[in-house]
Amino acid sequence: MGAILPARAFARHSPGRGGRGEAERAAVGGRQVPSPYAKLALRVYNYAQVDRAVLSRAEKVADTVFEESGIGIVWMDCTPLRGANPACPSDMRASDLVLRLLPRRMAMRLATPNEPLGFAQQCPETEPGCELTVLYFRVEELAADEHRPELILGHVMAHEVAHVLIGPGHSEDGIMRREWSREELRRMSLGLQLSFSSVQSGRLRDAVLRRIKHPIPETSTRADLVAGQAQARE
């Protein structure tokens, strides 16, 4: 299972990575045009009872991260209400993922070595409802250290979605780094964004297209994506 660990303070940056790297940029700008076909549905089970405003802002952060890779996300609040019918339809496709936000009391029942912020299932690409989990109480612990919880949560969700799509590997920098430094967390809280590399973005788009059984184009230019969006609106 892929996971991201809590941040540790690093004494120095890796050689050649001083300051902001290519994978980090302001939360606005530099995006690719999302493909009208590369879309995921995230079914959110908010067992941690994260404040609605905080969760909504976190979803927008994850949206922005994936939009830069040409991927759109549809968010569905599927949190069960006592005595009510299921909040979301039971039928799912392989492009439907299940996101669980867990409080401490539920997370303590799980075996989570190394105290990760979250983890993700590894599922066949044809399997619907693959799960990713965020241990929200650990996000709250970071928030107590003056980090903004919605920005950290948005990045953790994007990180774990990526693990579902492209596997458990990590990178040396960017959003798929195994451990975020305190400096990276500080920058996130200032509204700066960690991003996927261009290689990761391509792999993510291809993985989404395979899940929705749409042919993967050999080349995908900005003009192609804009044309595709125009056709989708007709």
32 part of a folded domain:
yes
Which one is predicted more confidently, 84 or 167?
A: 167
Model confidence pLDDT, tens digit, residues 111-154: 666 668 999 999 999 999 999 999 999 999 988 888 899 999 99
Question: Residue 21: what residue type?
Answer: G
Question: How many angstroms separate the CA atoms of 44 and 77, rounded?
Answer: 5
- pLDDT band of 219, cuts 50, 70, 90: very low
224 part of a folded domain:
no
157 part of a folded domain:
yes
CATH code of the domain covering residue 73: 3.40.390.10
226 part of a folded domain:
no
Question: 48-81 burial, b if ≥16 CB within 10 A, otherwise e?
Answer: bebeeebbebbbebbbbbbebbbbbbebbebbee
131 part of a folded domain:
yes
Please give the pLDDT value at position 71.
Answer: 96
Which one is predicted more confidently, 230 or 40?
A: 40
Whether residue 224 has pLDDT greater than 50: no
8 Å CB contact between 32 and 68: yes
116 lies in which domain range? 23-81+92-214
99 part of a folded domain:
yes
Count: domains in the chain: 1
Please give the pLDDT value at position 225.
Answer: 37
Whether residue 227 has pLDDT greater than 70: no
Model confidence pLDDT, tens digit, residues 172-217: 888 999 888 888 888 888 889 999 999 999 999 999 999 998 555 5
Whether residue 166 has pLDDT greater than 70: yes
Question: Residue 25 is inside which H or E element, if any?
Answer: strand 24-26
11 part of a folded domain:
no
Model confidence pLDDT, tens digit, residues 32-68: 556 667 999 999 999 999 999 999 999 999 999 999 9
Question: How many angstroms separate the CA atoms of 205 and 214, rounded?
Answer: 11
